[in-house]
A and B are shown apart, each in its own frame.
Chain A
């Protein structure tokens, strides 16, 4: 057995007419990995997830769960998956515990009472588990959703927009919890349109835009600048010294102006070791510097860069 939990190959969903909601999506998930599915609303994240869990029929493509073909061994594949699709919905006329019992009964492997209690404890619902779900807050429902998804110890957890309706504390708890599961070897696929969350939660992200996967990145390589020599630096100077500043910048080799912002700021691209040089030259030229700041290339920048490239292409195409 390899360490691949899921392999998605050329997944495509075409709806009536020619419109492709998801087009040729391929990616792999490793054991114990938290993979983010990131994209703006309408990018095809939910459709992709629903094709994987079998709620939506795929037009083309293959999904393998632990090496088993979803088309041929659908039930075996589903046994390995636990999921929350969209807002967690429950039978609100029953208690949280009774709801969980229903899902426990549907598992192919028997689930003991101890396991039930363990999961309830884990999602911190012990105090309210005998209450009817209609009394639950959205956060509690979200946690009950996580409970039903992990009850049967799936190898793969799929969460569609799990942070919707969660307060910052709840999001943090979910994050910690997913990390805990990952350490136990459970892989998680999380979708979201919130970049900052993905950055904190995931090991890797798959970026989707208009039904296509446009990039797969490692979070660590994105958030730390260590990998590239080039740095984005913003420099803030006195308004009157703007021209002098520009002259100084042009004198230093290896520094290029990305753009001028407002009337007192430059965004520059440069090597990190050139920052002191530039600073010294500016002081020598008697430019009043208010601030030099190194900007991280965050996932957001990357995301925006990727999607704006796409926008440019769109405009050219028209």
Chain B
């Protein structure tokens, strides 16, 4: 089994594509840093205490709007929200404009990580199908190993690949963050916005590991889906195409979650649960649906996918 793993790892890194993916992650991260820096450059490097004055000024501005009265209801609502947020920030002692490498990491890692998901899905869906496609699978299966061992070694290789990509991303991120925004404390305070609830005031140390961990589990699920589906296809192109389609359609379909959340069956399909990083901020993504429920549903689907494709592969005739 060790030999199979080593072989898969060697094959993976002998492909140009793998190095291209790794390089792309580094370059995208560097590019994002520059974009990020140019947008927030003017609001950083304020003097100590200036940010409190700024927040207070904003509060009094909004209060004036409320006092003078306005016809637009949404303006009132927005003013009230801004006041509330600013007061909470003041109370928690969080400078919304403060920037250092840790805050930068917390804010940007996941946006680049979606490229890792894309690349990993491509690798996952081609690692089996490409070998069936070009005939090398036959030479693997006539060796003294069980078929499931061949599959498992490939699966582990894909997961290891995604970890290498993640580590590379985080290291690049920290390097760029340190160069551009200086070092900061791992327990810097941050505010997290979320689609599912109000802002959450916390520290990088509290939220970042949860975000990364949940993101990784989410990605693992995509890997399992694309890896399993690709086994059913002979053609590498078809396998990769379908996996990417599923990856993108998932986020589109999640847009319908609000409409479908009330139906009894919706929470039992895997789609809405493929948004695990949301749990870093909120407790429930739908009424009554918490992280435990989501993980259970995903685990059941994962086992079903792996089981079905594994049994299929074990019995498959390689004509």
Contact = CB atoms under 8 A, between A and B. Distances in A.
Looking at chain B's contact residues, the main secondary structure is helix
Contact of A91 (B4, B136, B141, B146): B136
A240 B135 CA distance: 62
B10 A102 contact: yes
Contacts of A108: 144
B146 to A, nearest CB: 7
B10 A81 contact: no
Given A86-B135, A106-B7, A55 B16 contact: no
B134 A55 contact: no
Interface string A96-136: 00100011011110000000000000000000000000000
A102 B15 CA distance: 15
Nearest to A47: B319
A27 interface: no
A106 B318 contact: no
Given A55-B142, A85-B142, A102 B11 contact: yes
A106 B141 contact: no
B144 A91 contact: no
A85 B137 CA distance: 11
A76 B134 CA distance: 27
A306 interface: no
A89 B135 contact: yes
A90 B138 contact: no
Interface residues of A, number: 29
A94 B134 CA distance: 14
B142 A76 contact: no
Nearest to B8: A102
Contacts of B10: 98, 102
Contact of B143 (A56, A76, A78): A78
B318 A56 contact: yes
Given A54-B141, A57-B317, A75 B134 contact: no
Interface of B: 3-4, 6-7, 10-11, 14-16, 134-136, 138-146, 315, 317-319
18 contacts: A50-B319, A55-B141, A55-B317, A56-B317, A57-B315, A57-B317, A75-B144, A89-B135, A89-B138, A89-B139, A90-B136, A91-B11, A92-B134, A98-B14, A102-B11, A106-B140, A106-B143, A106-B145
